[in-house]
Chains A and B, each alone.
Chain A
Amino acid sequence: MEDSTTLKQEKENQQLAEAVQPWEEETAASPQDLGPESFGPWEVEWAPDPGPRPRSSRARTPEPVGPVAEQAASSSPPSPQKPLSTLARQDLGALRQLDRITNGTLDAGTPLSDPPGQSTDARESAPPSQSGQDTSALTQQPDPSSKPSKPQELRPGSAQEEAWSSHQNRDQPGPKASEAAPSTLEIAVQNAKVYLLRASSKTGLNLYDHLSNMLTKILDERPENAIDFIETISQDVKMAHFSKKLDTLQNENEMLPTYEMAERQKALFLQGHLEGADQELEDEIAESSLPNVVESAFYFEQAGVGLGTDETYRIFLALKQLTDTHPVQRCRFWGKILGLEMNYIVAEVEFREGEDEEVEEEDATEAEERDNGESEVDKDEEDELPKSFYKPPQAIPKEESRTGANKYVYFVCNEPGRPWVKLPSVSPAQIVTARNIKKFFTGRLDAPIISYPPFPGNESNYLRAQIARISAGTHVSPLGFYQFGEEEGEEEEEVESGRDSFEENPDFEGIQVLDLVESLSNWVHHVQHILPQGRCTWFNPIAKNEEEEEEDEEKEEPDYIEQEVGPPLLTPISEDLEIQNIPAWTTRLSSSLIPQYGTAVLQSNLWPGAYAFCTGKKFENFYIGWGHKYSVDNYTPPVPPPVYQEYPSGPEIIEMDDPSVEEEQAFKAAQEAAELAPEDNEETGEGEDDADN
């Protein structure tokens, strides 16, 4: 027992001396160097043979730290303290003794096997002054083949001991303490440092570096009340270890989309003037076609509507790009429609004379319709089976471009900088169907619209239909700004729905803003109303039926359809229909505090998101929202179409009973009676048979 304790002392002292030296030489500035390499001496020490052994990547934790701490602890009470001079002398023989011990144990081949759990328990329960009992257990050589699990178990114990020992040291009164204090304190400090510098067997990190990194971070960043969130700082420092190292083989492409978009938008800002053209002429063109988006955005901002400043400006530049690349007569920023994945920025455009790019697509659709018609006609009556009598209802044709709902052409893009896409012209069927469905926009123009009733087209058609409906409902202007054109009005007399063209009134003097706020009759619609048929001008579907009437005479004459009439152009919005006690429009003054410089703001309750402002002379309309109409009640899908009734049971359906025996006998008798009269009927009968065959 004694032998072992002295051995232990020697070993510990020797270790301390060895361990302390490098750290005293080390500066705190390079704590990384105290990695696994610093355990070199111990590894050699504890190695079963002192020869060079491959250093394991995993840092071996030195075992004797625990006992060392105890030693310090037990020495602070009046146990005989070894002077430091003895340490040096013992160091000399330490290695030799160590070799002897290790060899001895290896020769013996029976290393003391002590279950780690027991030893720690014993050690923790034992008072530190009587730690001889468990230190004997601890002096045993670790079996080199056994896993170094023990040190981990010892760690908490040793930590406790250290705390206790330092506490004792501080509280010790008397001269003895002052003598022993420097050494014990020093030893305790060193022990603590050794403990802190132990690398975790799992991650290889040690607490000393971690704490110094944490403090560095805190001192660098100087947050307020750092103590309140020290835990998260610690977590961040740990996380930083696992941060992705840049792979030299491949660049990080996480930011690529950002750069790509920035590149696209940079092109907006780099739009140069068209070179070669006369400067003044060019300016005229630009002024006439490009809307003053920034000015109207300013007024809308007063009203509390609109987009952010920078987005507005980007859209402005994008519109400039549009007017530069297309033969645009007039352009307007229509608004923004929100979608699930991307949004739509919508520009309303009127082309200069001689544009039509739509001819091709229109031709294609007409050709399709014709093909369908012809295919039905081409079927000669080869079989006598009845064909289907059902004919689809008369397709109502599109309105010509530049008239009605197709008066303007709409361009959309998902983001300013992306290419503008021209929306197709709208057909009445699409508008009629769009009134019956309610769908979110996805942001992809080619997305299918899955709905009941089936929508004839994809999302681009649905978007175009909604734009047409919103424009027809919510585009308003102050009374007197537009007036009917003189010469065109007479031509349009045949159409009873009123004249459909207007021009700016050059003598418009403006309206008082307060009047605009107080009375809805000072605002008028300047876009044609869309009839239930889906067109702005009435199309009579019966007129074309005359050709077909010859074929099916049995078909009932369709009733004369009453012509649908909507409110004429330039009708005041005070006559708009209410939505179940909710007025269709709300007017406000943009600033109640400074009314003399306010603008009149009009917002639609029927199409939430549609706004208009008027400053007396200037006015503008704007829509931003999901593109849906407001309804007090929830959406209800349309009812399914009526079920077709079957044929009524008439004489052509009901069959007679089979001929009975009596009838046949009577018939035979009648035949025989008839045969007596004519004689030459056999030949004719044969002849008929031949003809039948």
Chain B
Amino acid sequence: MDAESLLLSLELAAGSGLGLSPDRRAALLTSLQLVKRDYRYDRVLFWGRILGIVADYYIAQGLSEDQLAPRKTLYSLNCIEWSLLPPATEERATQMAMVKGRFMGDPSHEYEHTEFQKMTAEDDVVVQVKEETRLVSVIDQIDKAVAIIPRGALFKTPFGPVHVNRTFEGLPLSEARKLSSYFHFREPVGLKNKTLLEKADLDPSLDFLDSLEHDIPKGSWSIQMERGNSLVVLRSLLWPGFTFFHTPRTRNHGYIYVGTGSWSIQMERGNSLVVLRSLLWPGFTFFHTPRTRNHGYIYVGTGEKNMDLPFML
């Protein structure tokens, strides 16, 4: 959520119980302004907080004028003194996949895990990982997976950089209920793979990101021919409940998905507030007030991904 409209955003996101105590709130309002000045950011987002056992990490992100440029991430334990985090790398992310359990709340805390080396069959190597690096990779993963914006809140300028759309007036009510009107707030991944026909309907200045409706992870599929080769059925194994059927040599085809994605959309406060909560990263809340410019997201959680999603839907 934007540092400038922090108070309103916190009030709107409060429905999930993600509050900030008054002293933290006041401290943030003070210190984020200074962060913006000292680091010369164009925008500062209060990204959220990661709950540790001993203490919590408060996370802020600084954005340059190009909204999609790599973001700088800062963390703080007391909401006053901020320290910059190193950028995330792929290598670290694979290392972090081994580490389980809660964050401690101490950046210098070291996790140990044994790594089995194939080269030397003698003994396992004990790898020590700092909690700070784990924090980096978790924030990066969450950002890539679930950071989102409503359609139209950003627009791509003719020169390439992505700017905040100042004429954005919020999604209309009819659109606010659709997953397709929310985009991932990161470099598009699936957009390049779209066909020309799909791209034809897109508005190049607005639809330059991946929308959430394609959020189903590419999993393994089971293909079966049924009814004496007159029907092809594809079933997703990763997302039980998704079935695609097609009758060869006719135009009949379609699919049905019984279940929800990894998002929960709700209209709250008498339809005057849309709230999306991530099920994959519990603790991540995005809100948008239709027909106004208020939107933002915040993460308050333990920094752990929900791996049990297929069972829980």
* Chain A residues packing against B (C-beta within 8 Å): 223, 228-229, 231-233, 235-236, 254-255, 257-258, 260-262, 264-265, 300-309, 311, 336, 338-343, 415, 437-440, 443, 580-583, 586, 590-594, 605, 608-609, 624-626, 628, 630, 632-635, 637
Contacts and interface: CB of A to CB of B under 8 A. Distances in A.
B308 A340 contact: no
Nearest to A264: B270
B167 interface: yes
A625 B51 CA distance: 14
Interface string B95-113: 0000011100000000000
Interface string B21-61: 11110000000000000000000000000000110000000
Contact of B21 (A228, A235, A586, A591): A591
A438 B312 contact: yes
Nearest to A261: B270
Interface stretch (B122-130, B217-225, B271-279): B271-279
Given A307-B14, A593-B23, 9 more contacts: A236-B167, A305-B17, A309-B14, A340-B260, A438-B308, A439-B313, A440-B279, A609-B17, A628-B312
Contacts of B165: 229, 232
Contacts of A625: 17, 282
B35 to A, nearest CB: 20
B282 A258 contact: no
Contacts of B271: 255, 257-258, 261
Q: What 7 pairs between A and B have smallest CB-CB spacing?
A: A261-B270, A308-B14, A624-B17, A635-B308, A304-B21, A634-B307, A232-B167
Task: Specify which of B20, B24, B102 lies most central, judged by the most chain A CB atoms within 10 Å of its CB.
Answer: B102
A233 B21 contact: no
Interface in B293-310: 302, 307-308
Contacts of B22: 301-302
Contacts of B15: 307-308, 311, 343
25 contacts: A229-B166, A231-B158, A254-B174, A258-B272, A261-B270, A306-B17, A307-B14, A307-B15, A309-B11, A311-B14, A336-B17, A339-B264, A340-B260, A341-B266, A342-B266, A439-B312, A440-B312, A582-B102, A591-B23, A593-B23, A605-B53, A605-B102, A609-B17, A625-B282, A628-B312
B93 interface: no
Contact of B20 (A228, A260, A304, A341): A304
- Of the listed residues A254, A311, A440, the one surrounded by the most CB atoms of chain B closer than 10 A to its CB is A440
Nearest to B167: A232
A340 B264 contact: yes
B194 interface: no
A440 B313 contact: yes
B266 to A, nearest CB: 6
Given A582-B101, A634-B308, A232 B19 contact: no
A626 B306 CA distance: 12
B16 interface: yes
B42 to A, nearest CB: 13
A233 B282 contact: no
Nearest to A312: B14
A21 to B, nearest CB: 39
Given A301-B22, A624-B16, A257 B313 contact: no
Contacts of A626: 282
B23 A608 contact: no
A550 B11 CA distance: 68
A342 B17 CA distance: 15
A338 B101 contact: no
Given A305-B19, A438-B311, A582-B53, A262 B270 contact: yes
A302 B16 contact: no
B158 to A, nearest CB: 8
Contacts of B19: 300-301, 304-308
A232 B270 contact: no
Contacts of A586: 53-54
A302 B21 contact: yes
B155 interface: yes
A261 B267 CA distance: 11
B110 to A, nearest CB: 14
A590 B174 CA distance: 42
A13 to B, nearest CB: 42
A632 B101 contact: yes
Interface in B128-178: 155, 158, 163, 165-167, 173-174
A266 to B, nearest CB: 10
Nearest to A634: B307
A580 B101 contact: yes
Interface in B180-208: 205
Nearest to B301: A608
A438 B12 CA distance: 29
A231 B302 CA distance: 43
Given A229-B167, A439-B312, A307 B155 contact: no
